[in-house]
Structure 1
């Protein structure tokens, strides 16, 4: 499948997890890919994977160390991509986190600095990136895919600030989809459920606690009986970004959660 041949794609938060798998898949399907994240070491692994997926063509991968909560970095991500590749076709807003470093969760009792951090990373950064990207997407009739969460519409008390940020992401998706339709730009969200990444580890959750959640919450309460892989989420993102396959899809929240949001009880806080 080479639909993305000649297309230029930015994937934020590409250092690990869903972002890494998504960048690698776009490279495999022919795209020129900009990867970006805060960890130089992790991003280098992604760069190597993307280069291999691109048939060894290093010129099709641009790696940018950046923090999307900094406006100068969001401007630089878009500018350097267009300078190198000459255009922009797809922006995948994937960068995010459940809480602030040093905290295991984003319960509403956490200090407001945690709220500010979570909202800036998961919501405000999208606006900053979109504002820079839209003029270029107008030229290519491109599209935006945001990585949200089932937490946007399902209450997880231990992740209150995160849920609020993702709800904002979902509403931004709807507003932008209407506003940009006249420009030929589609905007959609993927709302993952449980995915086997290092997301929980970055929130201070141990491997043992993550395994406990898989056995005691995911398997019993997710109809498909397991967490997803990052690669499974990447295929959904690629579908939404494909202007052939998804050309009449905009403003939608594509829930990819194995059925967790329609059957499971709230996430137990004691496992965090």
Structure 2
């Protein structure tokens, strides 16, 4: 499948998890991919995977070491990509985090500096990137895919600031979809539920916490009984970015959570 042959895609937060899997899938499907993140070592691994997925073509992958919370870096991400590949067709806004490094207690007890960090990384950076990307997307009739979360509409008290940021992304999606429709630009969100990534360890939780959460939180509350893989989320992102398959889809929140957001707590077993 090579629909994205000749297309240029930017994936932020491509160092690990959903971002890495998404970049690799776009490369496999023919796209030229610009991958961004702050960790050079992790991005190098992503670059190698993308190059392999592209059939060994090194000229189809471009690495931009950048921090999306810095406006000069968001400008550089877009400028470098267009200078390298000549155009921009898809912007995947994936970079994000649940909290500021060093803080892993309940968000609502955390200082406002953590709120500022979480909002800047998860929401404000999207505005900065979109503003830089839109002039180029107008030329290609391209599109934007934002990685949000079911936390945007399902309350997780321990992640209050994160949930607020994702809710802001969802509303931005609706507003931009209407505003940019006249330019032929589509804007959509994917709202993942539980996904097996480095999300919890990035928040300072031990590696074993993922297994504990899978057994005690995910399995009892997800109708499909497991967390998703990053690759499963990547296929949804690629669908939304495909101007053939999803050409009449804009302003939507595509929930990919195994049914988690619609499930109810299991009823207690009735005594015999």
TM-score range, shorter chain: over 0.9
User: In 2, distance between residues paired with 1:264 and 1:191?
Assistant: 19
User: In 2, distance between residues paired with 1:31 and 1:208?
Assistant: 36
**Greater CA deviation, 96-105 or 184-193?**
96-105
C-alpha displacement of 1:105? 4.5
Residue equivalent to 2:47: 47
Residue equivalent to 1:77: 77
Residue equivalent to 2:98: 98
**Greater CA deviation, 101-110 or 122-131?**
101-110
Q: Secondary structure at the match of 1:254?
A: strand
8 A contact 1:190–1:254 mirrored in 2: yes
Q: TM-score, normalised by structure 1?
A: 0.96
8 A contact 1:192–1:257 mirrored in 2: yes
8 A contact 2:27–2:53 mirrored in 1: yes
Moved over 6 A (4+): none
8 A contact 1:38–1:65 mirrored in 2: yes
8 A contact 1:34–1:62 mirrored in 2: yes
Q: Secondary structure at the match of 2:223?
A: coil
Residue equivalent to 2:32: 32
Residue pairs, 1:1-272, within 5 angstroms:
1-105=1-105, 107-263=107-263
Aligned length: 265
Shift of the 113–153 alpha-carbon distance from structure 1 to 2, 3 Å rule, reads same
8 A contact 1:106–1:162 mirrored in 2: no
Shift of the 106–175 alpha-carbon distance from structure 1 to 2, 3 Å rule, reads farther
User: In 2, distance between residues paired with 1:262 and 1:195?
Assistant: 17
Q: Where in structure 1 are there 5+ consecutive unaligned residues?
A: 266-272
User: In 2, distance between residues paired with 1:71 and 1:255?
Assistant: 30
8 A contact 2:194–2:227 mirrored in 1: yes
Q: Which structure's CA Rg is the greater one? A: 2
User: In 2, distance between residues paired with 1:106 and 1:66?
Assistant: 29
C-alpha displacement of 1:104? 1.2
Q: Where in structure 2 are there 5+ consecutive unaligned residues?
A: 266-272
Q: Secondary structure at the match of 2:234?
A: helix
